[in-house]
Amino acid sequence: MVLNAYIAYARIRHVGGQLIFLILFVKILTNEADISADEFLVTIYFTGFFMPATMQRPTGQSRKESASTSVLGGKHMKVAIIGAGTMGSGIAQAFAMCDEVETVYLCDIKEEFAQGGFSKIKKQLDKRVAKGKLDQASEDKVLSKVKTGLNTIATDPDLVVEAALENMKIKQDCFRDLQDNIVKNPDCIFASNTSSLSITEIGTGLSKPIIGMHFFNPAPVMKLVEVIKGANTPDDMVEKVKNIAVALGKSPVQVNEAAGFVVNRILVPMINEAICVYAAGTSDIAGIDTAMKLGCNHPMGPLELGDYIGLDIILAIMDVIFDETHDNKYAASPLLRKMVRAKHLGVKTGIGFYDYSNGGKVPVDQK
Ligand SMILES: NC(=O)c1ccc[n+]([C@@H]2O[C@H](COP(=O)([O-])OP(=O)(O)OC[C@H]3O[C@@H](n4cnc5c(N)ncnc54)[C@H](O)[C@@H]3O)[C@@H](O)[C@H]2O)c1
C-alpha cells in the first residue's frame, strides 16, 4: 500500500494536487477520514487526478471539444484551408480549436475575403465566451493560430482542406497551383470539402492522390465528416484522415466516391422536391417548413435549410447528381435555378426563401 501511495504521489503533475494528496493520505492513516487508504488510492486513480499531461483536456475546452487522438505522432499539425467562405471559416475554426493543431492558414482569392473568414470565427468564439462556454484566454489562443492571406501563404501545411466554390475547374486549378507552386511539404495530404464532385476527377493531373473530407455546416458543431475514398486514394490516407477527424471531435464515416456521397444524395433532392412543392402552389414557404418540422421531426424545414446551406450549392449538387445519373428525378427545379441567377442564395446574400435583412427572417414569395 505504501508503494502504491508513493507511485500515485509521484505521478501527480501539479503541486496543488500533491499537497491535497498528502493531507488526505495523512488523515486516512491517522483514521481522521472515513475511507480506507486502499479505497482512497483506487478512487483517485480513476478520477484523472494524476492523468498524464498528454491526456488532459486543453484549457477552456469542454470535454466534447477536446482532441483525443494523436494524428501526427505527437507533432503539431499545420493545416491550410482554401476558401474562407461559409465552410472554410467553420472548418478553420474546428481545426484551430484542436489542441494538436499549431497553425491554420485561412486562404482566399483576396486578402479581405480571408480576413472576413477570420472575423466570422472571432464572432462565433465571442458568442461562446459570452455564454461562458469558453474562456477569453482560450479564445485568444484559438485565434492566434489562424493566419489569413492568399493561397500562397500555405507553404508548409501537413494537410490542405479545399473549401472553394463547388466547381470542378476551380478545384482542379487550386490543387494544381498548390502542388506545383506553393506547398513544399511532399507528405502534405490534399483533401477537398466538395459536397458532390468526383474526388478522382478533382485530382486529375496531380502527382498524388487526393481524398474527400466533407464537413457539414456549421463545421465547428456538426459531428459528421464523410471521408471519401476516390479511385486512387490509398487506404492508409483514409485511415489518417479518419484519425484527424476524430482528433477534431468528429465522427468520420467512410464513403465510396458517388455523386452526392451519402448525405447530400438523400438530403439535397429532398430540398429540391420542397422547392417543386412550393412552385406548384401546394403550400406556402412557412407551411412547407412547418409541415416538415412537425411531421418529420426535422430541426429545420427544407426551404430554410436550403437558404442556410446556400441555394447555389443546392443547385450545383443537383446538377452534379443529374449529370452523373441522367435520371430525371434529379432534375433541378426551374425556380431554384431562377433564384440562383437572381443571387437570391439564402443567408449568405441576405435573401432566399426568407428575407434576412435587419437580423430578421421573413418568408418572401419567390414565384
Ligand atoms: N455550404 C454548405 O453547407 C456546405 C457544406 C459542405 C460542403 N460544402 C462545400 O464547401 C465548398 C465551399 O462552400 P461554401 O458554402 O463555403 O461557399 P462560399 O461561397 O461561402 O465560399 C467559397 C469561398 O471560396 C473562395 N474561393 C473561390 N475560388 C478560390 C480559389 N481559387 N482559392 C481560394 N479561395 C477561393 C471564395 O472567394 C469564397 O470566399 C463547396 O465545395 C461546397 O460544395 C458546402
Ligand 1 atom with least separation from CA of 308: 3
Q: Catalytic residue at 139?
A: no
What's the rounded mean pLDDT across residues 225-252? 97
Assigned C-alpha cell, 278: 412550393
Ligand 1 mean position, distance from CA 87 (Å):
6
Q: Which band of pLDDT confidence, cut at 50, 70 and 90, is reported for residue 196?
A: confident
- Could you check whether 63-256 and 263-363 share the same CATH topology? no
Q: Is there a contact between 321 and 196 (Cβ–Cβ < 8 Å)?
A: yes
The pLDDT score that the predictor gives to residue 110 is 98
In Å, how far are 48, 156, 358 from 279, measured between CA atoms?
A: 58, 49, 27
Q: Is the CB of 88 under 6 A from ligand 1?
A: yes
Q: Which residues pair with 189 in a beta bridge?
A: 159
| CA end-to-end span of the chain | 79
In the reported structure, the alpha carbon of residue 12 is separated from the centroid of ligand 1 by a whole-number distance in angstroms of 47
Quote the cell numbers at residue 24. 488526505
Q: In whole numbers, what is the pLDDT of the chain averaged over residues?
A: 86
Helical (H) or strand (E) element with 162? strand 159-162
How far is residue 333's CA from residue 322's CA, in Å, rounded to a whole number? Answer: 12
106, 92 contact by CB (below 8 A): yes
How long is the chain? 367
Q: How confident is the model at residue 1 (pLDDT cuts 50, 70, 90)?
A: very low
Give the integer Cα–Cα distance in Å for 210 and 311: 27
Question: Which residue in 65, 139, 226, 304 is the catalytic one?
Answer: 226
| Greater pLDDT, 67 or 309 | 309
60 sits in the region (left: phi over 0; alpha: psi -120 to 50; else beta) called left
Domain ranges of the chain: 2-55, 63-256, 263-363
CATH number for the domain formed by residue range(s) 263-363: 1.10.1040.10
Q: Which option is the CATH number for 63-256: 1.10.1200.10, 3.40.470.10, 3.30.1330.60, 3.40.50.720?
A: 3.40.50.720
Under 8 Å between Cβ of 188 and 206: no
Q: What angle do CA 316, 317, 318 make, to 5 degrees?
A: 95
Look at residues 305, 333, 336, 332 and name the one whose alpha carbon lies nearest to residue 321. 332
Closest by Cα among 163, 35, 31 to 104: 163
For residue 19, the model assigns a pLDDT of: 57
Nearest CA to ligand 1 atom 1: 309
Q: Which of 42-51, 141-150, 322-331 has the lowest mean pLDDT?
A: 42-51
Query: pTM (2 decimals)?
Result: 0.78
* Cα separation values, 286 from 65, 109, 274, 363, Å: 35, 37, 12, 7
Cα Rg, the chain, nearest whole Å: 25
Contact yes or no for 204/231 (Cβ under 8 A)? no
Give the pLDDT confidence of 51-84 residue by residue, as tens digits: 333 333 333 344 444 434 466 666 799 999 999 9
